[in-house]
Amino acid sequence: MEIVYVGHRHPRNRALLISNKEWKRLGKILTKKMDEEEAVEASKRLKEMRRETSKKMVDGWDNTELNKTKKLLEQKRKALSELETKRQQRDEEMKREALEARNRIIEKACKLKFEERDSTKTFYRALQHSEVFKERAIQLKFNEAEREKKMQKDLETAQEQNKEVERYKKHREDEKQKNHELKRSKAEMLLKELKERRDSRSDEQNALLESGKLELRKIAEEIEEAQKKAAAEARSAKEKLQKDIEDNHIMIASEDDVRESEEWEEDMVTTIMAETKKTLARARRLKEIELVEVKQLALEEMRARSAAWPSKQTGWAESDVLDAVEAQEKRYQEGESKKRELANKRIEHVEIGNRLWEEEICRRRERSAQNLRSEMHRREREKRLLTEFADLRRRTRTDNANRFREQLEKQCNDKRIALLANRQADIDRHSAFEREWQKEDEEFIAYTKNVIEKKISVGNPVVPLIKTVKDYLEKNNLCMNGDKVSKKIPKGPTYTSRIIRHI
């Protein structure tokens, strides 16, 4: 390897010269991993090729266990294929049987559906009605014969009953005559007993009247004695009552005197107590005045004594008085100085507060002016944004309205197409239903015709069946043209708002 310079001698112009042998060696170093992978892939391809060659060679040998096993597997595969073909044949047969069973079920269902129709049920009811008419005719004949037999039997019974009535009347008359004679004999015996009873009762009443008179006389005497006794008792009670009244008047008078004396005593006591209270109040007031005067005198005396008494045992000197005056003056001056200092401090605090307040007012004014400017800028920006927003909203509304109009027109077209398709589908479905109805009507008419012919050949009444068929034709607006059934064609155009709807 050798370093050379291309052009000027500069690091960027420096180049490295490598020999071919060295270049190959470096290339092998860089592509070593890729070469190893290629060698591995080549060895794998060689192994796969040798394995396929040996497999082809071994497949032609008959004396190996693998080929024997392959032959057995081939035979099993053939047997399974034969079984599969047989199974498919059996499945086809089962499908055919299932199809036949399905057809039988469908026929049965169609028959059941035909029987479950309202028209078929109505025809069955008419058929049963015709059977009822047949039974009714037989029953009428039987009832007529039974009525004749009953009338003959009733006639014989009436004749026997008339004979029995005549015998009963004769027996009743004989019984009445016997009862009349018995009653007459009983009445005679009763009258005799009543006469005897009346005579005995009159005798008893006379005796009772005499005994009653005696008793009344005794009762009258007893009443007179009782009245006399009551009058005496009343007189004594009256005298006693008068005496009691007099005693009561005396007692009331004495009680009134006692009550008046008590009231007078109570009035005297109340007046005495009032006078005593007034005297006590007057004395109490005088005593209080005396005590106030005594207190004032004592206070004046105490003041005089306190003024005369010295504060020291040796008395007060002039120097002491001067000292006291100087001390008092000093205390006063100190108090005044403290008051001035406090006043000066208060004035300074007030000035500082006023200055701070003025500064605060200035700051507030500047802040309010700044806020006003910022609010004006904000208002202008907001106004600009609102106008832009209004323009944008107007454009958006216009775009939305256009888009909504397009979508609405598209939906209307789609709905119109769908409505036309639905109408056509309804018409097709209705035509299909009409064909089904036509088929059902033909089946029903054919069935009823066969049944009516059978009933006519047997001799049963067919009036209910014919009436049922006519009602069916009128109800479904049908008519018969020979053996065919068709809808009645209206004479003029029909206008209807009925919507064809089938579920």
| pLDDT value at residue 299 | 66
Which residues, including other chains, have CB under 8 Å from residue 448's CB and lie 6 or more apart? Answer: 123, 465, 468, 469
| Residue 64 contacts residue 58 (beta carbons within 8 Å) | yes
| Residue 109 contacts residue 437 (beta carbons within 8 Å) | no
Report how far apart, in Å, the C-alpha atoms of 28 and of each of 2, 41, 116, 125, 431 are.
Answer: 21, 18, 96, 109, 89
Look at the pTM and tell me if it is higher than 0.85.
no
Beta-strand (E) ranges in 273-344?
none
Q: How many other C-beta atoms are found inside a 10 Å radius of the C-beta of residue 456?
A: 12
Q: How many other C-beta atoms are found inside a 10 Å radius of the C-beta of residue 472?
A: 20
Tokens 């020999």: give the residue: 19
Q: Which residue from 123, 111, 129, 108 is spatially nearest to 450, judged by alpha carbons?
A: 123
| Residue 128 contacts residue 464 (beta carbons within 8 Å) | no
| Tens digits of pLDDT across the chain (503 residues) | 566 666 666 667 776 777 778 777 777 777 777 778 888 888 888 888 888 887 777 676 666 677 778 778 888 888 888 888 888 888 888 888 888 888 888 777 777 766 667 677 777 777 776 777 777 777 778 888 888 888 888 888 878 878 888 888 888 888 888 888 888 887 778 778 778 877 777 777 777 777 767 777 777 777 788 778 877 887 777 788 778 777 777 877 777 777 777 777 777 777 777 777 777 778 778 877 877 777 777 667 656 655 544 444 444 555 665 676 677 778 777 888 888 888 888 888 888 888 888 888 888 888 888 888 888 888 898 888 888 988 998 999 999 888 888 888 888 888 888 888 888 888 888 888 878 877 777 777 777 777 778 777 777 767 777 777 777 777 777 777 666 766 766 554 544 444 444 43
| pLDDT value at residue 305 | 54
Report how far apart, in Å, the C-alpha atoms of 413 and of each of 98, 400, 407, 417, 426 are.
Answer: 50, 19, 10, 6, 19
Amino acid occupying residue 94: M
Instruction: Output the six-digit token pair for 389.
Output: 């927003």
Burial 196-219 (b: 16+ CB within 10 A, else e): eeeeeeeeeeeeeeeeeeeeeeee
Distance CA 495, CA 89 (A): 61
Amino acid occupying residue 206: N
Tokens 């507060």: give the residue: 353
| pLDDT value at residue 62 | 67
DSSP string, 149-192: HHHHHHHHHHHHHHHHHHHHHHHHHHHHHHHHHHHHHHHHHHHH
| Residue 463 contacts residue 394 (beta carbons within 8 Å) | no
Alpha helices in 31-117 (DSSP H): 32-59, 65-116
Q: What is the C-alpha radius of gyration for the chain, rounded to an integer number of angstroms?
A: 77
| Residue 501 contacts residue 171 (beta carbons within 8 Å) | no
| Residue 468 contacts residue 123 (beta carbons within 8 Å) | yes
Instruction: Output the six-digit token pair for 317.
Output: 């000197």
Torsion of CA 204, 205, 206, 207, to 10 degrees: 50
| pLDDT value at residue 313 | 46
Distance CA 165, CA 168 (A): 5
| pLDDT value at residue 495 | 46
| pLDDT value at residue 2 | 65
Distance CA 411, CA 407 (A): 6
| Residue 436 contacts residue 480 (beta carbons within 8 Å) | no
| Residue 41 contacts residue 33 (beta carbons within 8 Å) | no
| Residue 490 contacts residue 498 (beta carbons within 8 Å) | no
Q: Quick one: how far is CA 266 from the chain centroid?
A: 84
Angle subtended by helix axes 32-59 and 20-30, to nearest 10:
70
Q: Quick one: how far is CA 320 from the chain centroid?
A: 106
DSSP string, 393-456: HHHHHHHHHHHHHHHHHHHHHHHHHHHHHHHHHHHHHHHHHHHHHHHHHHHHHHHHHHHHHHHH
**Stretch (H or E) spanning 17:** strand 14-17
